[in-house]
């Protein structure tokens, strides 16, 4: 499982759930890329906005992406 944290949010990606559908790459290409094994990799740091990453979270058919908003200051 990969976890990348930004100042405002963190992206948790459970690669074991990934089936390589590629929707996240289409939706958030600055944060996800295709790996050599044809599964998705989470880029460090994620380059897309919170809104885009939330859309990728919503559209992942395997629910492998979780975006958590950091409320701590």
> pLDDT band at residue 5, thresholds of 50, 70 and 90?
low
Architecture of domain 2-68: 2-Layer Sandwich (3.30)
- At 47 the three-state DSSP class reads coil
More reliable by pLDDT, 70 or 65: 65
Name the nearest CA neighbour of 39 among 59, 57, 13, 58.
Answer: 13
Provide the pLDDT for residue 71: 75
- At 58 the three-state DSSP class reads helix
Q: What is the pLDDT of residues 17-64, one digit of tens each?
A: 999 999 999 999 999 999 999 999 999 999 999 999 999 999 999 999
What token pair was written down for 68? Answer: 């958590």
Provide the pLDDT for residue 73: 58
Q: What does the domain layout of the chain look like in residue ranges?
A: 2-68
- C-alpha 25/C-alpha 29 separation (Å) is 5
pLDDT at 7 over 90: no
- C-alpha 69/C-alpha 8 separation (Å) is 6
């Amino acid at each position: 499982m990969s976890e990348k944290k930004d100042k405002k949010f963190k992206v948790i990606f459970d690669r074991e759930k990934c089936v390589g559908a590629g929707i996240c790459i289409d939706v958030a290409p600055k944060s996800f890329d295709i790996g050599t094994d044809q599964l998705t990799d989470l880029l460090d740091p994620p380059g897309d906005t919170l809104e885009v990453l939330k859309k990728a979270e919503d559209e992942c058919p395997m629910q492998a992406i979780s975006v958590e908003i950091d409320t701590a200051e």
